[in-house]
Amino acid sequence: YDWNILGPKTLLGHCIYINEHEMELIKETDTMVVHNPESNMGNACGCPPTMELVHKGILTGLGTDGYTHDMMESWKVANILHKHNLCDPTAAWGEVPQMLFEGNAKIANRYFKKELGVLKEGAAADVIVVDYDPLTPMDASNCNGHLLFGVNGSMVQTTVCNGKVLMKDREVLVCDLRDGYGADVDALTAHELKEQVERSRVCLGLHAVAHTITSQEADRRGCPQRSRGRLRAGRGQAAAAGRAPR
């Protein structure tokens, strides 16, 4: 705040440890916040006061911080995280979809010239088509529940970005699908596929061995839980490089 960093074009990530006064500064400067529930849980950082931010009228969006590419998954995790943290089964029902469908669009609209997040003439035509067969009646009053419990990213059939069809009926139209080794998957022979699978198994095996060895050593040394992660990472890198860990 004192360095004039906060403002309408500033996006704050996580905001786990903020206090009441800092929330007021965020609101006063019209600064934006993005919540990344899986990242916070995966790093054992704690649960941010996201529901309070939304209730204060602070523009808040929903992100992933790289933990997933599936925004529906992030919605599901945020929904149960805040219910658990607040010991309130009614929490997050309305706030999280508001963050995802309204907050994210408003955040993006502060950076992009073409209007986003709406279907109307002149706006960017960003659309996904999802193959979802509701087994119970679905209407405007319960659509959020259907999306939350019935839909995931793997059900997307068609993707349109700014009016351009990127994927249609699960076929990607804008690039060649290649495997991790740079070869066309369809062109690989059965023998080549088998070799690549075996190489992957070897890599996974090395990682598992290094993980087991370093976990046992951490127990022997009495290392705290956080130190074990750093120890395992160092030994795993040494094993992957074919060197004996020191």
Query: Quick check: 131 and 153 in contact, CB under 8 A?
Result: no
- Looking at beta carbons, which pairs linking 96-105 to residues 24 or more positions away fall under 8 Å? 96/62, 97/144, 97/147, 97/148, 98/54, 99/35, 99/50, 99/54, 99/60, 99/61, 99/62, 100/61, 100/62, 100/71, 100/74, 100/75, 103/59, 103/60, 103/61, 103/62, 104/61, 104/62
Name the 3-class secondary structure at 227: helix
pLDDT of 9 higher than 70: yes
Chain segment 25-35, per-residue pLDDT in tens = 999 999 999 99
Burial of 156 per CB tally in 10 Å (0-12, 13-18, 19+): middle
Comparison of pLDDT for 6 and 223, the residue scoring more: 6
pLDDT of residue 185: 55
**pLDDT band per the 50, 70, 90 thresholds, residue 48:** very high
Q: So what's the pLDDT on residue 175?
A: 85
Average pLDDT score, the chain = 83
Is residue 205 within 8 A of residue 214, CB to CB? The reply is: no
Q: Which amino acid is it at 41?
A: M
pLDDT in tens, 108-141: 999 999 999 999 999 999 999 999 999 999 999 9
The pLDDT value given to residue 194: 59
Q: What is the pLDDT of residue 245?
A: 42
pLDDT for residue 21 is more than 60: yes
Angle between helices 225-240 and 190-221 (to 10 degrees): 140
Asked whether residue 235 carries a pLDDT value surpassing 80, the answer given is no
Mean pLDDT of 83-94: 98
Question: Which residue has better confidence, 44 or 242?
Answer: 44
What's the pLDDT score for residue 182? 56
The pLDDT tens digits for 163-221 are 999 999 999 999 876 655 555 555 555 556 556 556 555 544 444 444 444 444 445 54
- pLDDT tens figures, 51-81: 999 999 999 999 999 999 999 999 999 999 9
Q: Is the whole model's pTM more than 0.85, yes or no? A: no
Compute the distance between CA of residue 98 and CA of residue 61 in angstroms, rounded to an integer: 8
Q: Which phi and psi angles does 195 have, rounded to 5°? A: -65, -40
Q: From CA 154, how far away is CA 157, in angstroms rounded?
A: 8
Asked if pLDDT for residue 222 goes beyond 60, the answer is no
pLDDT above 50 (res 226) = no
